[in-house]
Structure 1
Amino acid sequence: MSRLLAGCRILIVEDEMLVLRGVEIALEELGCDSIHVAANVADALTLLAQNAIDAALLDVNLGGENSYSVADALVHAGIPFAFSTGYGDHGDRQDFDDRPVLRKPYVRATFTAVFEQLAQTMRLTTEVKYDPVERG
């Protein structure tokens, strides 16, 4: 078992329960032990407001609504995230073109690579936010 995500708090926004369970298993295999789950935008925004989150995976299409408002909140909070979709890309928001996209069905190697990328971003962000050296 990998420890890539040990101590990381991950938000998963996914409305398909079978897909969600596969994501949870894959994250646990990467060492994640704190997974927050939402099936819709309102619940995701509530979880984001009430919990410390290190990274997120957002299904673009959530049963008729999209997850862009959650993505906007994550950008505002400086939290790295990836999109998940069964439709080819993340949609019409060009401002998210730099975000990783996981295509369904997931390929384990790609899933792991995306979370390696998010973990690297988390480490860099943490170093910037919590740099103990004061700058004069």
Structure 2
Amino acid sequence: MPDFSGLRVLLVEDEAAVALLLEDMLEELGCEVAASVARLSKGFDAVEKGQFHLAVLDVNVNGEQVFPLARLLSERGIPFVFSTGYGAAALPADLANRPVVPKPFSISDLRRSIAAAFDEQPACGGDARASGNHLKGDVHGPPG
């Protein structure tokens, strides 16, 4: 089982109860919630500030689709997972291969999705799969 201790997470979720549930699950997995935002614009602000290793993105944030933010994260090499009740079918083709945490959430689904995000995304400075450890690196890469 992967160790997520010290993993700093950006959470983009507009429903307060869902955000609290995810924050609790992330902390139970050893993660630190670096920022929890309920607006897409605040998600973009958080990306500019950095200071996180992974993002968990609700697909629909206050009526706005999160895909432009997901594409920015992808361009910057920052791993992310989607959270949605619609499943992978709701994702555009260019993002359909990204991990999805299905609603309703389970901690095991969240754990698998986080691990998959690092398996698909090279960490800063190298391929996380080649190192054998998903969770080593700098901010915007897994913690070191």
TM-score norm. by structure 1 comes to 0.82
**Deviation readout 1:45-78 (Å, 9 max, x if unpaired):** 0011012221111000112111011101101110
Q: Say how many residue pairs are matched.
A: 128
In 2 relative to 1, CA 92–83 (structure 1 residues): closer, same or farther, beyond 3 Å?
closer
Answering whether residue 23 of structure 2 is matched by residue 8 of structure 1, we say no
TM-score norm. by structure 2 comes to 0.78
How do 1:74-89 residues align onto structure 2 when only pairs under 5 Å count? 74-89=73-88
| Counterpart residue type for residue 35 of structure 2 | H
CA distance in 1, matches of 2:77, 2:16: 28
Deviation at 1:6, TM superposition (A): 1.6
Identity %: 32
| Counterpart residue type for residue 125 of structure 1 | A
SS at match of 2:126: helix
Task: Name the residue aligned to 2:72.
Answer: 73
**What RMSD over aligned residues (CA atoms) do the two structures have, in Å?**
2.3
Answering whether residue 98 of structure 2 is matched by residue 99 of structure 1, we say yes
| Counterpart residue type for residue 27 of structure 1 | L
Spell out structure 1 runs of 4+ moving beyond 2 A. Answer: 87-92, 116-122
Q: Is the 8 A contact 1:44 1:70 kept in 2?
A: yes
In 2 relative to 1, CA 128–34 (structure 1 residues): closer, same or farther, beyond 3 Å?
same
SS at match of 2:9: strand
Show structure 2 runs of 5+ residues with no match: 132-144
Deviation at 1:18, TM superposition (A): 0.6
Task: Name the residue aligned to 2:49.
Answer: 50
Higher-Rg structure is 1
